[in-house]
Chain A
Amino acid sequence: MSKAEQISQLRNRLAGQLISCDHIKRPHAISTGWPELDRFFLWPGWPKGEISLIYGPEGLGPTRLWMKCLPQIIGQQLWAAWLSPKNLRLCPWDLFQQTQSGNLSRLFIVETPSDQIKDWLWVTTELLSVSLFEIIGCHWDQLSPKPAQIHKLKRLAERYQCALVILTQQEKPFKSPLYAAIVQVGKNSICIERAQHRPTPHFFQRRLFYADFMPQFKSLPTAALNDQEDKPVLFG
């Protein structure tokens, strides 16, 4: 019997159980705010109850990538938390522009002065155990947690069904198997190194990422820094 007949025979037999792909109930996740990335992930966004990792130098926009998910969450009156690094402060003005109501009462921010890993872990566990936040972004700067600690966080995240996203500036961070998604922000491209049930690595044009951001800058000629030709008179 030719291959085609075998397949049709198999389909008839399984007809009762086969369902089309749009009937698959996709597991629960929080949209990243970037449509292409959502479509790529099986879970449409940061998986809930899982830990995801974004790494890359700060200027390339890992924080901006994480913040893109906030307008939607705040729009649905859900809670989000941000654990900001020691010497960097989250600037809310872009977020204020994007949320229609401009009401940031659902964004909780923690600024830790210390730089030991155990403090960060303690704060993260506290944030998780409140079981209030949909998504928690922790910016661990140059710190790198041990596998056991990640395992503990994974269990907590699973129990409280909260999406934990870790951002770090390390070049080659420790990629624990427990991470559900790993995103590396590079100079020209954004590379998805791990995503469940998806062929990885997958690359996105970084230019796309800036598509909606500062269109005005596209038209400006980039000129080398020329010395300021006239000393500006300031209240002489």
Chain B
Amino acid sequence: MDIIKGSVLDYPETPYVELLGRSYFSFLQGASSPEEMVLQAQELGYRGLALCDLNGLYGVVRAHRQAHHNSSFTSPSDFASSAQAKSFQLIVGSELKLKDGGSVALLPMNREGYTRLCQLITQVQRPSQKGFSLFHLELLAQHSDDLIALALPPWNMDELKFLHQQFHDRLYLALWRDLSWQSRQFEHQAFELERHLGLQLVATQRPFMHEAQRKPLFDVLTCSLHRVSLAEAKTRLLHNSERHLKPLRQLKQLWQDRPDLLERTLEIAQRICFSLDELKYQYPKAAVPPGFNSSSYLRDLVRRGTLWRFPQGPTAAVQSLIDKEMALIEELQYEDYFITLWDICQFARKQSILFQGRGSAANSVVCYVLGLTAVNPEQIDLLFERFISRERGEPPDIDIDFESDRREEVLQYVYKKYGADHAAMVCTVICFRTKMALREVALALGIDLKSVGKIVQSMGKEGLSALVQMNESNLQLSLSNWGITQTQFQLLIDLTRQMYGFPRHLGIHTGGFVITQRPLSECVPVEKSSMVDRYVVQWNKDDLESLKMMKIDLLGLGMLSALNKSFALLKEKRNCSLSLATIPPDDSKTYKMIQQAQTVGVFQIESRAQMSLLPRLLPKCFYDLVVEVAIVRPGPIQGGMVHPYIRRRHGLEPVHYAHPDLKPILSKTYGVPIFQEQIMQIASTVCGFTPGEADELRRLMSSSWKDASLMQGLRQRLINGMLQHGIQMEFAEQVYKTIVGFSSYGFPESHAASFALLTYASSYLKAHHPDVFVCALLNSQPMGFYSPRVLIAEAQRSGVPFLPLDVQHSDYDYALEGPAVRVGFRAIYGLNKKFIQQLIANRQRHGPFSSLENLVERIHWPKSALMHLASSGALACFGLSPRAALWKIRSMNLERESFFYTQSPVYEQGPDLLPQESEWESMHREYRAQGYSLSSHPIQILRPHFQSTKGSARHSLQGHNSLSIKKLRSGQPVTLIGLLASYQKPPTAKGFVFLTLEDEFGLFNVVLNPQIHLRFRQTLNANPLLKISGCIESHSSGLTHLKAKEVSPLLP
């Protein structure tokens, strides 16, 4: 179709490509997500969209995925959009701001152009901290080939001359018409330049949002950028909402005097032929010893590994698995990937850093043989497609856990080996959560900080829904209490909802690493991260996955460092050498302890939900542990899997399968699907999915971003598959429900297996060496479910004596002194580690301290640190009560030069003036210093007071505590007092709240139904010491908990 010059009206549809699209990845300067921009552009019938965010390519991958989401499940109704999606061109680009306010947008024309753009951005962003950039025009001199430059106003002459020299005919001046006087002035200047210098112009809309309704949100973002409220913002805000993607008809009408500028956008788009799919990814050549190439070296490693893992030779099944895997690895050329991983693990093994591979890697025998994972293939049947599949063509995703304290050494090793140019961390985008978004919007609306605090506090843990579901009466009440009007409240809710999920800044993925053969900055820009000498790529985990780029995760796990410390203590103090591999399997004492749910501190099975399940499941062997780890997850709970499994395991229910083909898959779990692998096997055998499709089903279901049309297509395929296979409709529906319910939380069997290993190891240690185990646990805090206070109380109850903190004996860490555990200085809050090491070194060199003055003279601590030491009671060895010590330190003369150094005035009789410390006050002081008290428990002190008060007879205390209620029969009313240990409101529990309270005898569980919880929410949030009355509910397996009716604070 030819374009008739001038007569625009009869032109069917103006071809237009928006060349300066901006998403919210411009951090507070864009109000729409990349997906929204692409969708809107497609709906409006644009020929394409260029996403140019400020100083980076953060959102281009998400936009690319949205533009080309070709998934095998696109339902027929989607066909129209996907066909049109084919013609829609997604252009990658970035806008770089200049110091004088102008800016240049660069669009790469081909792969080399893209590389230059990435290198330029890296050069601009790497040295400067977050949000800053180093861009100046001279940088363009080396990076101007294969790039199209759009110069944005305000222009000045020498800049334009320089750009013209660099880009010649690839330079365009972008101008827009947003009904503002400024745009008219720029337009006038542009026409002048075109007439005199013959520069090429191009039309754009310079959109900051995808539709006009986003203007309020954009204003709020501008306010939070400038740290002002809307009323004070004045001309900082956009004066109208024209900066959005307009329909073609309106564009045509807007540019009716210069339609050629619209057509030029298509010309430019046609000059660009680059898409992110071209990013070929080669994994770096691993360092291979001479005489070997990658595959031969890998084959040799596997051979040696097999001998190590199977001394008496592998079984035929295992050998065939190994050969199958090796064939696939060599076909997809992933040898270098495995060798790199093996090399990293080799380094960790040399440094005796405990590590363990998990995730899909545990499905591969090669990994087991190479020592990456510790899951023996004979124990669980492996599904190699889950790890690498030919159809998917995606690199394997291996996560390796290291000791959390020593993970840094491994990271530095990788940086040194591959160089900072070839290796960088994967980024995560830190987004606005509800609380943060609400605070920003409230500040913009001019609501003062105090009322914001009140709103956030009344929101509690449920988030926005708590505010929205308020009924009319207490809404009015709280509005007056917060001092805001109804409209303000409505705006606050709408804008917070819109702002949820917007990126605030970049963070570092806990362990993700990208390693490339060519310098990394050739395929993705690299930025400086907040942590010192750490660099991060601008794409997150999902981006890399969708571009099929290889990533390895080196994660830290607290339990591994705890186990390592336990083994070290055992060797040093109890001279028995033990390691992960040499722990005796299936030890009856350990399983007995697990069955009685005494698992506080044990890995993975210490949470309340797990402990309530253990007495019912009664795990007896390793596989039971694997099931226990996997079963208490939202997936199985939502799928209604837990109860049938327990009943079938104890034979209370016959085991039946919907179809004979399911028997081999589900036989191990009594016909109940629990693991993701099982779901994939069901999908492939019963619903006719190919293994690759089954895996894409898993990845699709677990990805946080779900597209409604895709889910619809998926349901069709599943149900039809099952019907063809002869399964009745209602059962097919039931299977579909379990698959969907299962999707995002289902636990892979391989993953559960590697965790179960650690669970068993930690249970064994707790059963046989409780003191060593609790000491190691306390030394690797913070980790796990319970605070040190609960761990110590639990250990004391199981007979482990504790010695208090003492300046003469304690080290930095908790230590074993004979049978007892000596508290370490690390327990004191706010005491610098440097000072402690100084004290210990001095003590070791010059022996114990003779007196307080001698201590102060030798260790030169500042007064505040000495006060911390005194208030923790560590100076008791000098015969000083904590208060006396505090007073003496306070009055000491601490200037080193002065003659009176460490002398306190001779006539000082202050200390005997001080009143004697009561038991409650000393316990309170210890809690404030280190978070727990060895000598007494608050409930123990308060109980006599409550015993004496008459109180209502029916709910009287009758001296009940966490031990005595176990003997009571179900339904008996009782009142208990306790200190709150944990508060849980799992989303799958439909509003029920589970509390764990602690008294001097142990822990007891309390259940609150939604109404009770709503009534007592404030008391629960505000005070840790509670008095709860209700009735006992005990379960056949000996598990008892208190069904709460009334909650009141213990202390007024």
Bind each other: yes
Give the chain B neighbours of A230 by CB distance below 8 A. Answer: 250
- A216 engages B216 (CB within 8 Å): no
Contact sample, A vs B, 16 pairs, CB 8 Å cutoff? A216-B184, A216-B185, A216-B188, A219-B188, A221-B257, A229-B253, A230-B250, A233-B212, A234-B212, A234-B241, A235-B212, A235-B213, A235-B215, A235-B216, A235-B241, A236-B213
A91 to chain B, nearest CB (A): 15
A95 to B250 CA separation, bound complex (whole angstroms)? 36
Give the chain B neighbours of A216 by CB distance below 8 A. Answer: 184-185, 188
B256 to chain A, nearest CB (A): 10
A230 to B184 CA separation, bound complex (whole angstroms)? 22
Give the chain B neighbours of A236 by CB distance below 8 A. Answer: 213
A229 to B256 CA separation, bound complex (whole angstroms)? 14
A219 to B212 CA separation, bound complex (whole angstroms)? 30
Contacts A233-B212, A235-B215, A236-B213 given; 13 further ones with Cβ under 8 A?
A216-B184, A216-B185, A216-B188, A219-B188, A221-B257, A229-B253, A230-B250, A234-B212, A234-B241, A235-B212, A235-B213, A235-B216, A235-B241
Give the chain A neighbours of B213 by CB distance below 8 A. Answer: 235-236
A102 to chain B, nearest CB (A): 16
Give the chain B neighbours of A235 by CB distance below 8 A. Answer: 212-213, 215-216, 241
A233 to B257 CA separation, bound complex (whole angstroms)? 24
B209 to chain A, nearest CB (A): 13
A225 to B827 CA separation, bound complex (whole angstroms)? 80
A90 to B1 CA separation, bound complex (whole angstroms)? 56
Binary flags per residue of B162-186, CB closer than 8 Å to A gives 1, else 0: 0000000000000000000000110
B193 to chain A, nearest CB (A): 15
Question: Nearest residue in B to A221 (C-beta to C-beta)?
Answer: B257
**10 closest Cβ pairs, A-B complex:** A216-B188, A233-B212, A216-B184, A235-B213, A236-B213, A230-B250, A229-B253, A235-B215, A235-B216, A235-B212
Give the chain B neighbours of A221 by CB distance below 8 A. Answer: 257
Give the chain A neighbours of B253 by CB distance below 8 A. Answer: 229
Question: Nearest residue in A to B179 (C-beta to C-beta)?
Answer: A232
A229 to B249 CA separation, bound complex (whole angstroms)? 11
Q: Is the interface of A mostly helix, strand, loop or mixed?
A: loop
Binary flags per residue of B184-213, CB closer than 8 Å to A gives 1, else 0: 110010000000000000000000000011
Binary flags per residue of A98-131, CB closer than 8 Å to B gives 1, else 0: 0000000000000000000000000000000000
Give the chain A neighbours of B185 by CB distance below 8 A. Answer: 216
Question: Nearest residue in B to A216 (C-beta to C-beta)?
Answer: B188
Question: Nearest residue in B to A236 (C-beta to C-beta)?
Answer: B213
| Residues B226-271 near A (CB distance < 8 A) | 241, 250, 253, 257
Binary flags per residue of B314-343, CB closer than 8 Å to A gives 1, else 0: 000000000000000000000000000000
A230 to B990 CA separation, bound complex (whole angstroms)? 49
Q: Is the interface of B mostly helix, strand, loop or mixed?
A: helix
Give the chain B neighbours of A233 by CB distance below 8 A. Answer: 212
A233 to B213 CA separation, bound complex (whole angstroms)? 9
A216 to B186 CA separation, bound complex (whole angstroms)? 11
Give the chain A neighbours of B188 by CB distance below 8 A. Answer: 216, 219
| Residues A179-236 near B (CB distance < 8 A) | 216, 219, 221, 229-230, 233-236
A199 to B188 CA separation, bound complex (whole angstroms)? 42
A233 to B212 CA separation, bound complex (whole angstroms)? 8
Question: Nearest residue in A to B247 (C-beta to C-beta)?
Answer: A230
A186 to B241 CA separation, bound complex (whole angstroms)? 40
| Residues B761-793 near A (CB distance < 8 A) | none
B214 to chain A, nearest CB (A): 10
Residues of A within 8 A of B (CB): 216, 219, 221, 229-230, 233-236
A212 to chain B, nearest CB (A): 15
Give the chain B neighbours of A229 by CB distance below 8 A. Answer: 253
A229 to B215 CA separation, bound complex (whole angstroms)? 23
A196 to chain B, nearest CB (A): 42
B178 to chain A, nearest CB (A): 13
Question: Nearest residue in B to A232 (C-beta to C-beta)?
Answer: B212
A230 to B252 CA separation, bound complex (whole angstroms)? 13
Give the chain A neighbours of B184 by CB distance below 8 A. Answer: 216
B243 to chain A, nearest CB (A): 14
B490 to chain A, nearest CB (A): 13
A216 to B253 CA separation, bound complex (whole angstroms)? 20
Question: Nearest residue in A to B216 (C-beta to C-beta)?
Answer: A235
A236 to B184 CA separation, bound complex (whole angstroms)? 27
A188 to B241 CA separation, bound complex (whole angstroms)? 39
A221 to B257 CA separation, bound complex (whole angstroms)? 10
B28 to chain A, nearest CB (A): 21
A234 to B212 CA separation, bound complex (whole angstroms)? 7
A236 to B244 CA separation, bound complex (whole angstroms)? 15
A219 to B250 CA separation, bound complex (whole angstroms)? 22
Give the chain A neighbours of B250 by CB distance below 8 A. Answer: 230
A234 to B244 CA separation, bound complex (whole angstroms)? 12
Binary flags per residue of B214-230, CB closer than 8 Å to A gives 1, else 0: 01100000000000000
A97 to chain B, nearest CB (A): 12
B252 to chain A, nearest CB (A): 12
A185 to chain B, nearest CB (A): 26
A230 to B215 CA separation, bound complex (whole angstroms)? 20
A229 to B247 CA separation, bound complex (whole angstroms)? 14
B212 to chain A, nearest CB (A): 6
Question: Nearest residue in B to A219 (C-beta to C-beta)?
Answer: B188
A233 to B214 CA separation, bound complex (whole angstroms)? 12
Question: Nearest residue in B to A230 (C-beta to C-beta)?
Answer: B250
A233 to B242 CA separation, bound complex (whole angstroms)? 10
Give the chain A neighbours of B212 by CB distance below 8 A. Answer: 233-235
B895 to chain A, nearest CB (A): 56
A230 to B216 CA separation, bound complex (whole angstroms)? 22
Question: Nearest residue in A to B249 (C-beta to C-beta)?
Answer: A230
Give the chain A neighbours of B215 by CB distance below 8 A. Answer: 235
B498 to chain A, nearest CB (A): 13
A229 to B212 CA separation, bound complex (whole angstroms)? 18
Question: Nearest residue in B to A215 (C-beta to C-beta)?
Answer: B188
A229 to B9 CA separation, bound complex (whole angstroms)? 15
A228 to chain B, nearest CB (A): 11
A45 to chain B, nearest CB (A): 31
B188 to chain A, nearest CB (A): 5
A234 to B215 CA separation, bound complex (whole angstroms)? 10
B187 to chain A, nearest CB (A): 9
| Residues B575-593 near A (CB distance < 8 A) | none
B978 to chain A, nearest CB (A): 53
Give the chain A neighbours of B241 by CB distance below 8 A. Answer: 234-235
A76 to B253 CA separation, bound complex (whole angstroms)? 49
A221 to B241 CA separation, bound complex (whole angstroms)? 26
A230 to B253 CA separation, bound complex (whole angstroms)? 11
A2 to B215 CA separation, bound complex (whole angstroms)? 88
B350 to chain A, nearest CB (A): 65
A235 to chain B, nearest CB (A): 7
A214 to chain B, nearest CB (A): 10
A104 to B253 CA separation, bound complex (whole angstroms)? 42
A226 to chain B, nearest CB (A): 11
Give the chain A neighbours of B216 by CB distance below 8 A. Answer: 235
A219 to B188 CA separation, bound complex (whole angstroms)? 10
A235 to B216 CA separation, bound complex (whole angstroms)? 9
A219 to B187 CA separation, bound complex (whole angstroms)? 12
A235 to B211 CA separation, bound complex (whole angstroms)? 10
A229 to B250 CA separation, bound complex (whole angstroms)? 10
A234 to B216 CA separation, bound complex (whole angstroms)? 11
A216 to B216 CA separation, bound complex (whole angstroms)? 32
A230 to chain B, nearest CB (A): 7
B458 to chain A, nearest CB (A): 29
A221 to B188 CA separation, bound complex (whole angstroms)? 14
Question: Nearest residue in A to B250 (C-beta to C-beta)?
Answer: A230
A221 to chain B, nearest CB (A): 8
Question: Nearest residue in A to B253 (C-beta to C-beta)?
Answer: A229
A219 to chain B, nearest CB (A): 8
A221 to B256 CA separation, bound complex (whole angstroms)? 12
B380 to chain A, nearest CB (A): 58
A219 to B213 CA separation, bound complex (whole angstroms)? 34
B242 to chain A, nearest CB (A): 9
A219 to B215 CA separation, bound complex (whole angstroms)? 32
B8 to chain A, nearest CB (A): 15
